[in-house]
């Protein structure tokens, strides 16, 4: 799973026609470390259907601020450059898939 480190990268991804799932995290965050393999599994499962990227809040503070991230981990689901769903804290694979299914046209298996 790739990391967004510049505004240009974010803008390129946000303008895609596919839903985008952003995982805001930090290297020092225990729950973030626990969530990372789950988000990676979702990224692998929905490759080609959903764009999944991670955002380190310490390295890209401007984007974290833009999204109003106050606690991590935080997941944001975007479509047409708009936030359509979000969650805070550790999430199960099933919960992340439910969020995708509820808010997008992506079929969740």
> Residues with catalytic annotation?
29, 32
Residue 50 has pLDDT above 70, yes or no: yes
pLDDT in tens, 60-98: 999 999 999 999 999 999 999 899 999 999 999 999 999
Q: Distance between CA atoms of 69 and 86, rounded to whole angstroms? A: 10
d(CA 103, CA 33): 26
Separation CA 64–CA 54 (nearest Å): 11
User: For the sheet containing 51-56, what is the strand order?
Assistant: 51-56, 20-25, 74-79, 82-88
Q: Report the CATH superfamily, name and number, of domain 7-103.
A: Glutaredoxin (3.40.30.10)
Parse the chain into domains and list their residue ranges. 7-103
pLDDT at 109: 59
């Amino acid at each position: 799973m790739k990391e967004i480190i510049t505004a240009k990268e974010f803008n390129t991804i946000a303008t895609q026609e596919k839903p985008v799932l952003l995982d805001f995290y930090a290297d020092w965050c225990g729950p973030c470390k626990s969530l990372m393999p789950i988000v990676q599994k979702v990224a692998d499962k929905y490759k080609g259907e959903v764009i999944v990227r991670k955002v380190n809040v310490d390295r890209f503070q401007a984007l974290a601020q833009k999204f109003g991230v106050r606690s991590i981990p935080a997941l944001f689901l975007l479509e047409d450059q708009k936030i359509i769903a979000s969650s805070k804290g550790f999430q199960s694979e099933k919960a992340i898939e439910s969020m995708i299914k509820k808010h997008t046209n992506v079929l969740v298996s």
